[in-house]
A and B are shown apart, each in its own frame.
Chain A
């Protein structure tokens, strides 16, 4: 073990040390070992750590110090909406009456929880302009797939069995084509034009009687609003397809425009992005799905509804695609989103989008002096720079990202979207102050200067982190996926 290594929990383990506190056996004893056939009794115990409670706290406190969250500093990770996670949400999610309720309790004993869910559904319907919402999907990609399964069921119910294609822009998140495949469709790519928008001519070219749906993020992953959305909706609808809205970028338009009004038939939202459910180091998320009236019958079941002043789970939905998840969705994350929406209201949500867009445009204009801006127009909540200029000097976008670590920041999303060379995708969010934005801008400009004057310092970055660049090839070639003694 190297001096700089941080021990694994297993390396802290010592035979005989404990930190559990289990109840005593308060009933007459039973002899399990004679009751259970011997080959069903585990012979070697699962080798979990044997550590004290203080060991646990030191270990995880140490690990947390080797991690970086929004509370640690600025996190302009494009497409991920790393906004502040309100502390009140965390408190509310821990109320006993929310965190310690069982999904199979009699519904009369959980009316408060169901009221929250119903109210959240109503709020999300209003924000998106959709007819009906289900909270069952667990995350964004899960919501995408749920909606595609509904679109599939819709076409099949119409006897339209040959709609095998789902159209996805070349700038789309990887989950879009992956969800299309999992839902049994073929993903077809539509090109981006010179303005950074879906190429309408190419769309017309790929649309045909096989088109089941078009998946679209609006604003798109370049941070640009798809201004020809009405025409696109017409093209798809005329061909008999459905229009699907990936809600990854809803943070740009709350109160300014609604997917339902744009002609979308189905949407998913990322409550862990736009509505402050924390990202948790990768999850849990929540990906509710909203649909038009025409698709409502296909929503997953059960659907939470209200009947005679009582909240009920409606299982009697014969056209439903069925269950997409056990129980009723990620209630704990939905509750955090609900708390946020109630804190902000209509006015606050609109202001959030206003400032998200203002912040992005401000940064874009300040940074375009030193970095290439492939699409020079007002952006929405995020923008994409290209490191082409720096690449010519031998410094790659990856190097710039690593240098930002030395300046104390989480870097932007890099090498995405795929249609921009050496891409850097910056999303500041609305919860950052001007001082924070300015400090980040100064760092980015300083790095641009370093690239010109002293490229090695950028190429060899990071210099100040607890570990240097990792050997990822080794990790993939000789995978070590668990601790071995």
Chain B
């Protein structure tokens, strides 16, 4: 009991045996959340698979409207941001307070670059009348269900983009707390959990890129 009420670590909640158990429990909780995230995106991937199985030629034609180069650059940008948030966690583990902030700011910057590129991709399509569903007016793809591909495209990349925006919000919160010195090798659970979240966002894009941009 003495350990459970330790004054050595004010972060330790009384219902955990020790800081390690508390950290592992948080991590397991985060992984269970990521499980639900995978199933959440899973529903859209299932829609993608069904419509591609039904209309393989549509997907080949429609993918020509997506810029492979921009997709590839965004993939590399997200991989880079995964590295920088991993380095932010490493800075917390090694008690480099200043570097936690710097790496988080770098991650926010890369996430913003991703969104800016996505913004240019979206507006370019909107200019041509490539809108989802009933609002689709583009006549460059000779297929009656061309709008279906872009409904799936906008839903999948849009939901992913929403996750990127939420990730930026979380990282701004981390920066504010890191600046007042909340994180150290003793306790950095929020940095670790945001890192896991950010990596799953990266993984989802790793699958979206070849499935959307690279169809022949």
A and B are partners in one complex rather than unrelated chains: no
B residues apposed to A, CB below 8 Å: none
